[in-house]
Every structure is written in C-alpha cells, then in structure tokens.
Amino acid sequence: MSGVGPVEPGEGTHAWDAPDAGRTTAAGVGPTGPADAVDAVDAVAPTPAARLFHGLVRHRGAHRRAVSAALAAAFLLAGGGYLWATRPHEAQQAAPAPPFPSQVVDVSYLGEAAVPPDAPPRTFAFDMVLGVESGPPVTVTRLTQPYAGLSLTSAPRAPFRTKAGSVRKVVITMRVTECGKVPKNAGLPFLDVTLRNARAIQAHSFILGSRYAHDLSEAVQVACSNESGHHQNT
C-alpha cells in the first residue's frame, strides 16, 4: 500500500458536497463559507434552469478553484523536481580518494635464499614477494627489521615502485652484527616497510608468520653459534 494519506482539512478546505436533502454534518458542525451561500441560492431556485444555472456557477467556481490548485501544485512539484534533479551529487563532484598503501600492499614470505659466496660472515637471505592489489603505484621507500643486532639490505634496493595488479620478488639479505642484540627465537618477527602512494606515506609492519619466524631463528642461531663466522644458506 502506497496510499496517499489524507491531508488534514484546514479552515475552508472541506470538500464541498453537492446539495442534497440527506446531507449531514458531523457533530452538527456544518461547512462554512461560500458553499453555504451557493447552497442557499440553490435551495430557493424555483426552476430546473435556475438550478442548472446555479449549478453551473457553482461548478465553474469549483472548477476554477480546482484548476488553480492543481496548477499551483504542479508548479510546486515542478520546482521541487527541478531542485531535486539539480541537487549536488557528491559522487559526481569528488572522485574517490586512492586507498592507503598499507591496505593494498601484501608482503609474503617465500623461503630461504642463497647468498653470494663473497658475502660477509653471518649473512643469510630470504625471498619475499610484494604485491599491489589496486590503486595508484606504490613505492617502497624503506625496508627494515626491528632488531639492533641485525642489518638488512634488499634487492631491489629501496626505493622501488610497483604498479597495481603486479607482484615483484624481493630478496632480503640480513647480517648479524651483534649476536647479543638479536632474539634467537622470536615468535612473530616482522618487517617494517615504509610505503608511499598518491594518498599517503605509511610505516607498516608485515608479520610474516611462523615459517619465517622459524627460518629466521634458525639462521640467527647458526650465525651466532660457536662454529659460525661464515655465511649461511649457501
């Protein structure tokens, strides 16, 4: 049901019923105003022609008022419709902002990687994959890890740019510089990556999971064992 609700009658806006003998008014409150006047004439009209004339007069008056009301309503609706149609559209005015880079970049751990034979002692490497899901290109401006006794370099070296819909392999090479300042068995180690796109620059941590944690711990333990002094993962 979409029915139009009744408009509460205001003063003088009651329907003007055709005169008939049986017409009654609620609670004895009769209509007032012009309708009464016409009805009064009508009631005393002597002939059918006269009644017809009065009927026409009444009909014309009612018709004129109805037409005027309809025109006014149409005018209001047309005006309202124009305003509605020409209202500001936010979507049209402002293109959606690009996503924050941390929301479209994914970094995953692939596995251990070989290090060059001439790499310094206590060096090991891991393969990562970095992907950009959507939005403008994302530049990695910095790539690091949080432990004081560990240095990190990457290939490609930062900064490097990746377009949406593409992935790139990143080789992380780490070297233990001070065994006492590297945890031997961190449960959830992460990489800190600074990302930049057209929207923002963000420092974001990528927690690479238990397999990375295991491989990193093992590499650190080997690097810091008594026999160590040479690179791992060869």
Partner 1 sequence: MRQRSLIAITAALSAGALTLTACGSRDSDDKGSDSGGTTVTIGIDAPLTGDLSALGLGIKNSVDLAAKTANKQKYVDGVTFKIEALDDQAQPSSGQQNATKLVADKSVLGVVGPLNSSVAESMQKVFDDAKLVEVSPANTNPALTQGTDWANSKKRVYNSYFRTATTDAIQGPFAAQYLINDAKKKKVFVIDDKKTYGAGLAGTFTEEFKKLGGTVAGTEHINPDSKDFSAIATKVKNSGADVVYYGGEYPQAGPLSKQIKAAGAKIPVVGGDGIYSADFIKLAGATATGDLATSVGAPVEELASAKEFVANYKTEGYKEAYEAYGGYSYDSAWAIIEAVKKVVDDNDGKLPDDARAKVTAAMQNVSFDGVTGKVSFDEFGDATNKQLTVYAVENGAWKPVKSGTYSG
Binding positions for partner 1, rule: CB under 8 A: 2-5, 7, 10-13, 34, 65, 68-73, 75-77, 80, 96-97, 99-100, 102-103, 106-109, 146-147, 183-190, 202-213
3-class SS at 50?
helix
In the complex with partner 1, which residue's Cβ is closer, 152 or 207?
207
| Residue/partner pairs of 97-100 with CB below 8 Å, 24 or more apart | 97/199, 98/135, 98/136, 98/197, 98/198, 98/199, 99/134, 99/135, 99/197, 99/199, 100/197, 100/199, 100/200, 100/202
CA atoms within 13 A on the CB side of 117: 0
In the complex with partner 1, which residue's Cβ is closer, 62 or 171?
62
3-class SS at 40?
helix
In the complex with partner 1, which residue's Cβ is closer, 109 or 126?
109
State the nearest-atom distance from the C-beta of 178 to partner 1, in Å. Answer: 12
State the nearest-atom distance from the C-beta of 10 to partner 1, in Å. Answer: 6
In the complex with partner 1, which residue's Cβ is closer, 1 or 26?
1
Whose CA is closest to 164, among 140, 193, 131?
131
In the complex with partner 1, which residue's Cβ is closer, 160 or 190?
190
Q: Distance (Å, rounded) from C-alpha 205 to C-alpha 63? A: 77
